[in-house]
Amino acid sequence: MNSEQIDKVFAALNEFQIETPSWGFADTGTRFGKFLQDGAAIDINDKLSDAAQVHQLTGCCPSMAVHVLWDFKESQDPLSVKRAAEKLGLKLGAVNPNIFQDQIYKYGSLCNRDVIARKAALTHILDSVKIAKQISSRYLSLWFADGSNYPGQANIRWRKNAITESLQDVAAAMDSDQVMLVEYKPFEPTFYHTDLADWGMSYVVSKAVGPKAKVLVDTGHHYQAQNIEQIVAWLLDEEVLGGFHFNDRRYADDDLTLGSIDPYQIFRIFNEIFFYRWETGRRPEIAYMIDQSHNDKPKIEATIQTVCTAQELYAKAALVEHSELAKHQESNSEIDAEESLREAFFTDVRPALSEWRKNRRLAPDPLRAFRESGYAARTAKERKERRIALGIRGESSYA
């Protein structure tokens, strides 16, 4: 790499921040069960401690997303959690309501025909907005499990209007600088139809809600072979791309670690963002967040691995010569255009990334530094003993 390329990598890394998820540090699982880890976080203080470790080692994860039901107990003051985070050098990030776990949501939340269930979901989301204001969080992150399993079961148009009208009420309760991130997913837990099944549905709802609503792209929430970077390009052009949930998937769903299956896809997504910035001269506000449940990988190590992968791929995308790429596109020089991407993707940015870390007084290899710190062994021993003292047995909860 020449000095100009190194400068581009440094500039990209200086601006790139990633939010870790509280639930990524706790015991998680699949529909079939959970495989528990001694070092998994037991409570919100453990989660904050683990997130702080990731930030101290990577230098780019200053905030941790929170899930309301899993992280804020009824008797707990959200401000106390905020203060605990600040003591560790962290901020609390996106607030995630939980409108899919309770029995009342069997047939949906905001799309439920039962007015009691619909009101409960809206009240919980509005309470989450209040919490976001208390902890100075800009982002309200919304994912809906709403849908149906059989043809004829649901009035799809009625449900579309119900969720739109409810989210308009939520937007009215938000501060002017707060952002509602509207996520989508093609299926699961329902398999006939999902109320927000793809980016177009989230886009339509977001536009109807107003400027506070943006689309959240989860990199694992797509069908096989979906061209995610095309979705990103369209959302950028429509100025409605709000953020990402980083993960990967092999077949149908998310929760594999980012780039473990298709790193080139993540690179192509980042390239579209850099290309948009080069072409328009505007830097869109995008929330980069991890959404992974590390069911078998050690949780902190998996998070560090994910962050380092994201940094590498973001740095590679910063190396694409977009002026040359644009010329090749104009002349339909398809091989040269593709080579513009391949050359950047196959550039080894790890030495530059190591130098960037050294300049910030960070360990050149965050994963190795974490393993050498002894933090994992210490916390596993302490948390195992605490579980025994608390009488925690069997299946752990996300919290």
Residue 396 lies in a domain: no
Its sign, for the CA torsion 98, 104, 105, 111, is negative
Mean pLDDT of 213-241: 97
Mean pLDDT of 375-394: 91
- pLDDT tens-place string over residues 119-133: 999 999 999 999 999
Residue 8 lies in a domain: yes
Sequence-separated (6 or more) residues with CB below 8 Å from residue 336: 324, 328
Residue 397 lies in a domain: no
User: Phi, psi (5° rounding) for residue 26?
Assistant: -105, 170
Task: Read off the pLDDT band of 75 (50, 70, 90).
Answer: low
- Max distance between CA atoms of the chain, in angstroms, equals 70
Q: Do 229 and 266 form a contact (C-beta atoms < 8 A)?
A: no
Mean pLDDT of 31-59: 94
Residue 399 has pLDDT above 60, yes or no: no
Residue 180 lies in a domain: yes
Residue 298 lies in a domain: yes
Q: Do 13 and 58 form a contact (C-beta atoms < 8 A)?
A: no
Q: How far is CA 324 from the centre of its chain?
A: 32
Task: Read off the pLDDT band of 392 (50, 70, 90).
Answer: confident
Domain of 190, in residue numbers = 3-390
Ramachandran assignment for 259, one of left (phi > 0), alpha (psi -120 to 50 degrees), beta (any other): left
CATH code, domain carrying 100: 3.20.20.150
d(CA 277, CA 322): 10
Mean pLDDT of 35-42: 94
- pLDDT tens-place string over residues 12-30: 999 999 999 999 999 988 8
- Residue 76 pLDDT: 75
Mean pLDDT of 144-148: 98
Task: Read off the pLDDT band of 7 (50, 70, 90).
Answer: very high
Residue 349 lies in a domain: yes
Task: Read off the pLDDT band of 395 (50, 70, 90).
Answer: very low
- Residue 73 pLDDT: 78
Into how many domains does the chain fold?
1
Tokens of 281: 């001269």
Q: Do 362 and 58 form a contact (C-beta atoms < 8 A)?
A: yes
- pLDDT tens-place string over residues 147-192: 999 999 999 999 999 999 999 999 999 999 999 999 999 999 999 9
Q: What is the mean pLDDT of the chain?
A: 95
Give burial (CB, 10 Å; 0-12/13-18/19+) of 66.
buried
SS (H, E, C) the chain: CCHHHHHHHHHHHHHCCCEEEHHHHECCEECCEECCCCCCECCHHHHHHHHHHHHHHHCCCCEEEEEHHHHCCCCCCHHHHHHHHHHCCCEEEEEECCCCCCHHHCCCCCCCCCHHHHHHHHHHHHHHHHHHHHCCCCEEEECCCCEECCCCCCCHHHHHHHHHHHHHHHHHHCCCCCEEEEECCCCCCCCCEECCCCHHHHHHHHHHHCCCEEEEEECCCCCCCCCHHHHHHHHHHCCCEEEEEECECCCCCCCECCCCCCHHHHHHHHHHHHHHHHHHCCCCCCEEEECCCCCCCCHHHHHHHHHHHHHHHHHHHHCCCHHHHHHHHHCCCHHHHHHHHHHHHCCCCHHHHHHHHHHCCCCCCHHHHHHHHCHHHHHHHHHHHHHHHHCCCCCCCCC
Mean pLDDT of 71-77: 80
Which residue matches tokens 């929430």? 221
Residue 129 lies in a domain: yes
Q: Do 105 and 112 form a contact (C-beta atoms < 8 A)?
A: yes
Reference 29, options 232, 328, 296, 323; nearest CA is: 296
Mean pLDDT of 342-346: 98
- Residue 29 pLDDT: 83
Residue 59 has pLDDT above 60, yes or no: yes
